[in-house]
Structure 1
Amino acid sequence: MLDWKTPTPEDIPVMHEIVMQTGTMSSDACVSAIYLLRDKYNIRIAIQDGFLFLWFRENSIPGRNGVTFPLGKKDTSAAMQTLIKDRTDRKLPVQMIFLTEDQVDYLRENKFASDFETHEENWDYLHKAENLSNLGGKNSKKRNKVSRFIREFPDWRIAFTASENGSSVLKDILYVEDEWLSGQEVKTEALLDERELIHEAVLHWDDLSLKGGVIYVSDLPVAMTIASEISPGIFDILYEKSFGNYAQMGGFSAINNLFADYLLTSHHARWINREDDAGIPGLRRAKMDYHPDILLKKYETLIKFT
């Protein structure tokens, strides 16, 4: 059977090495997210024969209870057999989740499964990095919001965690998060948990190879973002915050645009994954307002045996 365990910081380098080889664009394969969300989604990992196996054990959210497609570049058929044997030995169903369309095709072609379901709240919003940087065409309204922010706050500047003042920028990421949270009328358990995750991300920043930036107005931190590279040139936006009047005047649009430009020019970003909408109508509208280039659909299936 596979040796399942909760991911630790020591597992991150080998996990990252495996996932980087796959070229996946899925946020569910983002190593930083896997580590940070390990308790929220009760995630277990197993590493064997050059493959990363993921087991999500979250029963309360549709499509988040099961195992994912084996991540690796070697013998996929052997990895699938290993996964199936693990499930059957444990007397558990082979419930597969977060399947991308190419993985669905593989399972169909190799007679593993034929029936698949999808939950729209788990689809990823993917953008070409150059489109989020340029904000042309359909996104011109977003460009206007960025321009409004710059006009309203002419003494703005942006700093990145990779700069000489990186440690100060990290502290300011936490400042923005705390200010954003203090402005929320109802501080739900989910919001408090997210605050803890952001603090943990900063604590393990180098281990997780995170990228981040903060916008300042008169040296006051007013917007921040945190991202992680999923695979070469594919970046996952993990967190993005602005608060108060700065948010109302376009802070979210500004950090989105300026950071996309930074990833494009400094880190050779090709695609930016802005993750799913969790089925929240307002969040879905906000994400669709950016006219994603790809909606990365996710599927699930139960592998049956006759």
Structure 2
Amino acid sequence: MKFKDITIDSIKELQPYFELVEYEACEYCFTTLYMWQHVYKTGYFIGDDFAVIMAEYEGNSFSILPLAKKDKLPEVIDYVIKHFEENDKKICFRGVTKDVIDVLQKNYPDKFEYIEERDLFDYVYEGESLRTLAGRKNQKKRNHINAFLKDYEGRYTYKLLDEEDFSDCLELLKEWTSNKEENDEFDEGMDDESVGIKKIFKNYKYLKNLLKIAGIYVDGKLEAFTMGELINPNMALIHIEKANPNIRGLYPYINQQFILNEFENVEFVNREEDLGIPGLRKAKLSYHPVKFVEKYTVMEK
């Protein structure tokens, strides 16, 4: 297999293969792979009705699940395993979901070690719960939103964003990144995330049919923005959410309005992983996920 780097032009080749599958993990989305390509050196190979994604981190090669129809997946996994062996590399898959673990254990008994990656579990919520924030469990969220609506009555606007708004997003991103009180525990990876966001903005014309970006302006200044898309017909995936932490209720308000306005019919919303960051884990749990997309690293023994 000869692999090509994932660039913005790769969307034309790869998107049909993402549409072949209904994986729920955030890794199985062109935007995710493109955003983080500079970190993981992600490449791809197009085969006969399938695509293989390979990456590298800290000198170690790994693959995520091949993009293939369910009935062909075992055959393509075998193909990828042979690639590792032929290149004298230790076999490693990352972002493997529980249902595929069962297939691997059956087809390759005693070959692999299976490592549960709790820090990489994606948080999945009921779409209607995020849209309505109904019930006692969401009372605090509603209180924060009501405080925002009262404090800034007549002063805020929600809108979909486009290229002409991205300079405002970058200014907010700069302010958010420099807010040490909010971000001390986020230092690792913030630069990489900023690079990824800038790549999205620079090439948005190639992504705008898939990816939605929205923001909240307060007194004419952008104070929050978010971006997301459908990862499958029944699930929205939220890639990024940034807001001024000094405006009470702004985070829950943009969270709610984005799902309410742009994903009004999805049953589920994937808000990605917490990376083991305590503050992020607490925030994601506070929205009461209905399930996790459990992910495993699979390594040759």
Aligned to 2:297: 300
Q: Of 148, 162, 168, which aligns to 1:172?
A: 168
Cα distance in 2 for partners of 1:167, 1:98 equals: 32
CA contact (8 A) 1:160 1:169 kept: no
Q: Which residue number in structure 1 is paired with residue 267 of structure 2?
A: 270
The 1-side partners of 2:16 and 2:272 are apart by: 21
Aligned to 1:76: 73
2:157 alignment partner in structure 1: 157
* TM-superposed deviation, 1:81: 2.2
Aligned to 2:4: 5
* Offset at residue 147 of structure 1 (A): 1.4
Counterparts of 1:117 and 1:181, CA distance in 2: 32
State the 1:31 CA deviation.
1.0
State whether residues 172 and 221 of structure 1, in contact with CA within 8 Å, keep that contact through their aligned partners in structure 2. Answer: yes
**Partner of 2:213: helix, strand, or coil?**
strand
Q: Deviations over 1:206-253 (max 9, x none)?
A: 32332111101122211110113322232221111112522xx11111
**Cα distance in 1, alignment partners of residues 180 and 83 from structure 2:** 44
1:122 Cα deviation from its structure 2 partner: 0.9
Distance 1:144 1:26, change over 3 A: same
More deviation, 111-120/132-141: 111-120
**1:93-140 deviations in Å (ceiling 9; x for gaps):** 211221111111221233355642212111100112111111122222
Whether the 8 Å CA contact 2:236–2:263 is kept in 1: the answer is no
User: Which amino acid counterpart does residue 100 of structure 1 have in structure 2?
Assistant: T
Moved more, 74-83 or 273-282: 74-83
2:117 to 119, 123, 126: 119
Alignment RMSD, CA only?
Answer: 2.2
In the alignment, residue 239 of structure 2 is paired with which amino acid?
L
* Map of 1:33 onto structure 2: 32
In structure 2, the partner of 1:281 is 278
Assess, with a 3 A threshold, how the Cα gap between structure 1 residues 302 and 114 changes in structure 2: closer, same or farther: closer
CA distance in 1, matches of 2:81, 2:92: 10
Deviates more, 1:76-85 or 1:169-178: 169-178
Greater Cα shift, 101-110 or 210-219: 101-110
Show structure 1 runs of 5+ residues with no match.
none
Aligned length: 292
In structure 2, the residue matched to 1:129 is 127
Is contact 2:5–2:44 with CA below 8 Å preserved after alignment? yes
For residue 37 of structure 2, give the secondary structure of its aligned residue in structure 1. coil
Give the conservation status (yes or no) of the 8 Å contact 1:159–1:169. no
Per-residue CA shift, 1:147-170, capped at 9, x if unaligned? 111111112110013xxxx33333
TM-score between both structures, scaled by the size of structure 1: 0.87
Sequence identity percentage: 27
1:49 aligned residue: 48
Q: 1:80 to 1:191 in 2, by over 3 A?
A: closer
SS of the residue corresponding to residue 272 of structure 2 reads coil
Whole-angstrom distance in 2 between the partners of 1:47 and 1:271? 30
Contact 1:263 1:269 in 2 (8 A): no
Question: 1:201 is paired with a residue of what secondary structure?
Answer: helix
Q: Which residue of 1 aligns with 2:23?
A: 24
Partner of 1:103: 100
Give the partner amino acid of 1:86.
H
The amino acid of 2:279's aligned partner reads G
Measure, in 2, the Cα distance between the counterparts of 1:214 and 1:143: 19
Which consecutive unaligned segments of at least 5 residues does structure 2 have?
none
Moved more, 194-203 or 151-160: 194-203
Local SS of the residue matching 2:246: helix
Aligned to 2:189: 190
Output one character per residue of 1:258-304: Cα deviation in whole Å (capped at 9) or x when no partner.
11112322xx4332111111111111111111111111110122246
Q: Between 68-77 and 194-203, report the one with greater CA deviation.
A: 68-77
